[in-house]
Amino acid sequence: SAVISQKPSRDICQRGTSLTIQCQVDSQVTMMFWYRQQPGQSLTLIATANQGSEATYESGFVIDKFPISRPNLTFSTLTVSNMSPEDSSIYLCSVLRGPDYEQYFGPGTRLTVT
Partner 1 sequence: AQSVTQPDIHITVSEGASLELRCNYSYGATPYLFWYVQSPGQGLQLLLKYFSGDTLVQGIKGFEAEFKRSQSSFNLRKPSVHWSDAAEYFCAASHRTGNQFYFGTGTSLTVIP
Q: Give me the residues that bind partner 1 (CB under 8 A), please.
A: 1, 31, 33, 41-43, 45, 48, 92, 96, 100-108, 110
Residue 104 C-beta: closest distance to partner 1, Å:
7
Residue 19 C-beta: closest distance to partner 1, Å:
18
Residue 16 C-beta: closest distance to partner 1, Å:
27
CB nearer partner 1, residue 61 or residue 105: 105
CB nearer partner 1, residue 18 or residue 103: 103
Question: Under DSSP, is residue 87 helix (H, G, I), strand (E, B) or coil?
Answer: helix
Tally Cβ neighbours within 10 Å of residue 61.
16
CB nearer partner 1, residue 6 or residue 77: 6
Instruction: Report DSSP letters for 4-65, one per residue.
Output: EEEE-SEEEE-TT--EEEEEEESS--SEEEEEEE-TT--EEEEEEEETTSPPEEPTT--TTT
